[in-house]
Amino acid sequence: MPSSTSNFERVIPNRPWRGIAVTVIVAVLIAVAAWEVYCRSLGYEPTLNDTSDLWAEARRHVEPESIAIIGDSRAWFDLDLDELERGLGKRPVQLAQAGSCAFPVLKDLADDAHFHGTIICSIVPRLYFAPPGAPPMEASQKAVQRYHGQTWAQRASHELSKPIERSFAFLKQDDLTLEALLKRLPIPNRPYAQVPPRHPPYFCSIDGERRARMVEQCAQPGRLQTRVKNGWIALFTPPPPPSYESPEAFMSKIGKAIGARYVDTKASIDKLRARGGRIVFVRFPVTDELKKIEDQQTPRARTWDPLLKQTNSPGIYFEDYPELAGFNCPEWSHLSAGDSVEFTKRLVPHLTEALGAN
C-alpha cells in the first residue's frame, strides 16, 4: 500500500547548484567590496559604533571609587584618558554620549549605593536641560536601561560585532544604514509634519574605552567640516512653539521643566555626597557661530550660574581661564585629537583644585 506521505514528496530539479552557490557568493563578495571601497572614498574608516551595548560595557567598569565622565560629546571628544590618569592618579571611565543629557546617568550613579567616586560632568545647557521625552534624554535613558537589562544574548552579540566593526568602514549605524540613508532624502516640511534636522555625519573614531577622536578630514577645512558645521546650526536652532499652544504657555512649560531639572540634580548630588562622592561641572570650549547661538539662547547667567548655585557644586567654565579659552574647535563644537590632549593637560590642575574643595 503506498505511503500516505507520498503525495508530499518533492523532486529536486537537476540544476548546477554548486555553480549557482559559488556565483551568488562571489557576487555578494564583489558587492560588499565595492560598497566598502566607496564608503572609504567618502572618508569613512573602520571603528566601533557607540551603541548602548558599548556604553553598558563601559558602565560595568565603574567601581565604587571610580572617576566617571558623563555628559555630552564635548566631554567625549575633548578629554584624553591618558592625561587624566596621569594627572588624577586614576583612569576615568568614559560614559559621555553624543547628543545626550547627562542627568539620567548622574541619577543612575547617585542611585548606585556602591558608587562613592568622582563625577566629571559636561554641561551643554540645551542638552542638559532637555525636557523628558526629548531625544537627549532618550539617548541617555536607553543606555542606562540597556546596562540594567542587558541579556547574555545581547552581550554575546556585542562581543561578536566588535571585531567586524573594526574591520569594515561601511558598518556605521548612524550614517550608512538604510534608515539613515532614507532620512537624507530631500523631503520638505509640510503642515503638521515637520522634518527634523539632520544630525552631523560621522567624524570620529571610537576605541574600546569609548574614547572619541576627531578624524583628520574634519579637523581640516573641507566638505566634511562644512557638513558638520551646518548640522550644528540646524540642531541648535530651536523649532517654533507648537501652533496649538500660545508662546507664553509654551515658555512657561519650558521654565518649569528647567526648574525641575535643578531640583532633581540637587537631589542626586546630595545623595552622592552623603556617601562621600564628588562632582565637578565643566563647560568645554565652543567657538564661532555655534558659540554665538549658545550664548544667545542659553546664556550663562540663566543656566550655568544657577546650576552651580542651586547644587552648591564647583564648576570650570573654559572662558574663565586663558589657558583653556584659547583653543579652536575646527567644526565649532569639539577639539581635534591633538588639541584634546593639550586641553586635558591644562584642565587637570583646575579639576584637582575644584575636587579638592568639593
Does 350 map to a domain? yes
Instruction: State the first-to-last Cα distance of the chain, in angstroms, to the nearest integer.
Output: 91
Beta-carbon neighbour count of residue 238 at 10 Å?
Answer: 10
3-21: pLDDT as tens digits: 555 555 777 788 788 888 8
Strand 204-206 and strand 212-214: the pairing is antiparallel
The domain spanning residue 252 has which CATH number? 3.40.50
Residue 18 inside a domain? The answer is no
CA distances from 156 to 142, 150, 167 (A): 19, 10, 18
Secondary structure letter of residue 264 according to DSSP: H
Higher pLDDT, 202 or 329: 329
Per the structure block, which three cell numbers stand in for 64? 565604587
pLDDT, position 243: 66
Number of domains in the chain: 1
Please tell me the distance from the alpha carbon of residue 204 to that of residue 214, in angstroms, as a whole number.
4
Residue 191 is predicted with a pLDDT of 61
Asked if residue 122 lies in contact with residue 71, where contact means CB atoms within 8 angstroms, the answer is: yes
Tell me the per-residue pLDDT of 176-186, one tens digit each, with 9 for 90 and over.
666 666 566 66
Residue 322, pLDDT score: 95
- Residue 333, judged by CB atoms within 10 A of its CB (0-12, 13-18, 19+), counts as buried
pLDDT at site 126: 92
User: Which of 135, 44, 60, 65 lies closest to 94 in space, CA to CA?
Assistant: 60
Angle, CA 256 vertex, CA 237 and CA 247 arms, to 5°: 50
Q: Give the domain extent around 259.
A: 52-183+201-356
Position 5 in a domain? no
Average pLDDT, the chain: 87
Supply the pLDDT for residue 308.
96
Q: Residue 40 — very low, low, confident or very high, per pLDDT cuts 50/70/90?
A: confident
* DSSP per-residue string spanning 161-199: HHHHHTT-TT--TTTSSHHHHHTTS-PPPBTTBPPPPPP
Give the separation between CA 300 and CA 51, rounded to whole angstroms. 32
Please tell me which of 82-96, 214-228, 255-269 the model is most confident about, judged by mean pLDDT: 82-96
Can you give the pLDDT at residue 19? 87
State pLDDT tens for residues 90-134: 999 999 999 899 999 999 999 999 999 999 999 999 999 998 888
**Bridge-partner residues for 214, per DSSP?**
204
In whole angstroms, what is the distance from residue 44 CA to residue 202 CA? 8
Per the CB < 8 A criterion, the answer to whether 163 and 49 are in contact is no
Instruction: Check residue 190 and report its DSSP letter.
Output: B
In angstroms, the Cα distances linking 191 to 6, 195, 299 are 62, 10, 32
* 173 within domain boundaries: yes
Which strand (E) or helix (H) includes residue 144? helix 135-149
Is 44 a domain residue? Answer: no
Q: How far is CA 10 from the centre of its chain?
A: 54
* C-alpha separations of 8 from 1, 4, 13, 127 in Å: 16, 9, 15, 62
Tell me what percent of the residues of the chain surpass a pLDDT of 70.
87
Is residue 75 within 8 Å of residue 211, measured between CB atoms?
A: no
Evaluate if residue 252 carries a pLDDT over 90: no
Q: Residue 280's pLDDT is what?
A: 97
Nearest to 344 by CA among 52, 81, 7: 81
DSSP string, 214-240: E-HHHHSSSHHHHHHHHHHHHHTSPPP
| pLDDT at residue 189, as a whole number | 61
